[in-house]
Structure 1
């Protein structure tokens, strides 16, 4: 239902019937509601036909209220259901099709140049960041490259948001991490496994971001975007497979190596999840990191079984 139709249909009476719930909201929102919605003139304005005057009113106070109310105080289970179905189909498709994808041109190029796959991912992220700087692309990007957790315009935003950055520092930090861990990891696990790790880690971290406010019964405060969830998958897999690799925090070495650094980052993320501090999407980071470790464990177990099978075929026990 459009905002103008909503106003003309229910008007003042809808909001008056919700006074007890309004009183339970935070003081800033409660004061805004009382100041803007319970004025005596609100009823007459609500009954005006859908003219330019109504459009102007809708785009100011009432539009702001409806967006704030719905966006912050409704945990949408239909969005979660939609995202879960899409993610299940997406993960199935990537798992089944990715090995075949790298057998055909031009993707087979990456099998002999695995590092260039990481460079390509960096390039895609940089290209989408460039599009964010052009206002005419904002409408499309907000639909497909921004994860709205209360009501998604498109299920593709669950994966599109993982390639999207609006601020240069966010892009820079994430791409530095992708380059640092990805260029080594892709040689170890191969381009097929790296692609599945990155894409599936990205979409699962989006699911974690949607589940978090529902599970903890907290308001949805902002949409999400960024490659951090996928990068924690890469970081988790890297640290599991190469636990003693040296890690630098800027110019300072982290004692204990990659595995110790990863565990420290997960403690930080879990603290953010339970203590609800800061503005980072700690739930997405946590899910991405856990998936990365699980996927690396699976690859290691698979490799060990294959090695044992080969040794057995040569007569070794």
Structure 2
């Protein structure tokens, strides 16, 4: 079971004026070809006069001063409404902070270094976390609960402005540095949450027991941050005109999968109930090929760049941990055979 990162979907032929993409009278324009990838990449191609809407649908100037219960209680079959109902409260007139991708990258890399060197101290000396040092599976369950709680907050209309700022990774405007972490714990749809949490439970409990809680925490968080950074840089490197926001734990989960597959390459992996031939490492390489093809061909609605970012960190952790294990094994062998020399 592999984790995925969800993207927001626009319904074909949905009138542009209805969803607030433009604030000028448009009588005949429709949004027809709406293409997105993982962290919610959206490109819009209008039909008439070759007009290009150069804003992401998250960056509208339309203001909604009060709650519209009709949107909250709208028909659940309307996927656009179900996924994006919180956007009615987006208000760019408040001059919110807009952090550059470069600054976010610096903060993200610094956070990764701090997490790597500080995680051991965190689980050794901080009372709230010290319990999990001897209960690694409980820490995985705590992560499951955290994701579930944040999913619950998405169901509360009064939380949407907070969630949009801190729990959603936007590409064109980054109001908070925390979004590179918060988006990795955020899910809007139950199927998305369920699939990712099943993957976390399947691989997380095993790898957390193998590595220890502090190492697992470092792996999980740094994979999540790397996934967000890859997701931010990909549209700029690929020169994609329209990119929407993204969310989901898949960057962190692909990091967990990458580390697990590197350390236990022949472990049996099941896709639902079907075994994948070749073991964990072959399955992981297949996922990397799929994500790389998704980045190049831009198919589907997944944030393939975030998947690749998390995968890279997972393999790096697996390589480093294997080297440390081999080094300790060699030192122990030399101590035990020293008397024979």
Which bracket does the TM-score occupy, shorter chain normalised? 0.7 to 0.9
RMSD over aligned Cα, in angstroms? 2.3
Structure with a larger share of its residues in strand: 2
Q: Which residue of 1 aligns with 2:224?
A: 202
1:163-198, Cα deviation, whole Å (9 max, x unpaired): 000010110000000000000001111111100000
Matched, 1:174 2:192: no
Q: Which residue of 2 aligns with 1:120?
A: 142
Q: Which residue of 2 aligns with 1:254?
A: 276
From 194, 197, 210, the counterpart of 1:188? 210
TM-fit CA distance, 1:89: 1.9
Answer whether contact 1:79 1:150 (CA < 8 A) is retained: no
Q: Which residue of 1 aligns with 2:310?
A: 288
Q: What is the alpha-carbon distance in structure 2 between the residues aligned to residue 260 and residue 216 of structure 1?
A: 28
- Between 1 and 2, higher relative CO (CA 8 Å, sep ≥ 6) is seen in 2
- Structure 1 residue runs of 4+, over 6 Å off? none
Answer whether contact 2:172 2:243 (CA < 8 A) is retained: no
- How has the CA–CA distance of structure 1 residues 27 and 159 changed in structure 2, closer, same or farther, with 3 Å as cutoff? same
TM-score, normalising length: structure 1: 0.76
TM-fit CA distance, 1:219: 2.1
Q: What is the alpha-carbon distance in structure 2 between the residues aligned to residue 121 and residue 33 of structure 1?
A: 42
From 36, 47, 53, the counterpart of 1:28? 47
TM-fit CA distance, 1:78: 6.2
TM-fit CA distance, 1:31: 5.4
Q: Which residue of 1 aligns with 2:100?
A: 79
Answer whether contact 2:46 2:52 (CA < 8 A) is retained: no
1:221-280, Cα deviation, whole Å (9 max, x unpaired): 320100000000000001111111111111111111111111111111000011111110
From 77, 100, 103, the counterpart of 2:121? 100
- How has the CA–CA distance of structure 1 residues 115 and 59 changed in structure 2, closer, same or farther, with 3 Å as cutoff? same
| Matched pairs, number | 257
Structure with a larger share of its residues in helix: 1
- How has the CA–CA distance of structure 1 residues 151 and 58 changed in structure 2, closer, same or farther, with 3 Å as cutoff? closer
Structure 1: which 5+ residue stretches go unaligned?
1-10, 12-24, 35-56, 61-66, 68-76
After TM superposition, the structure 1 stretch with the greater mean CA deviation from structure 2, 156-165 or 214-223, is 214-223
Matched, 1:59 2:62: yes
Matches within 5 A, 1:205-216: 205-216=227-238
Answer whether contact 1:270 1:286 (CA < 8 A) is retained: yes
From 112, 127, 147, the counterpart of 1:91? 112
The structure number with the bigger radius of gyration is: 1
Answer whether contact 1:237 1:296 (CA < 8 A) is retained: yes
Structure 2: which 5+ residue stretches go unaligned?
1-23, 25-43, 54-59, 64-86, 88-97
TM-fit CA distance, 1:83: 1.3
TM-fit CA distance, 1:96: 2.0
- How has the CA–CA distance of structure 1 residues 315 and 83 changed in structure 2, closer, same or farther, with 3 Å as cutoff? same
Q: What is the alpha-carbon distance in structure 2 between the residues aligned to residue 176 and residue 214 of structure 1?
A: 32
TM-score, normalising length: structure 2: 0.71
**3-state DSSP class of the match of 2:260?**
helix
Answer whether contact 2:262 2:319 (CA < 8 A) is retained: yes
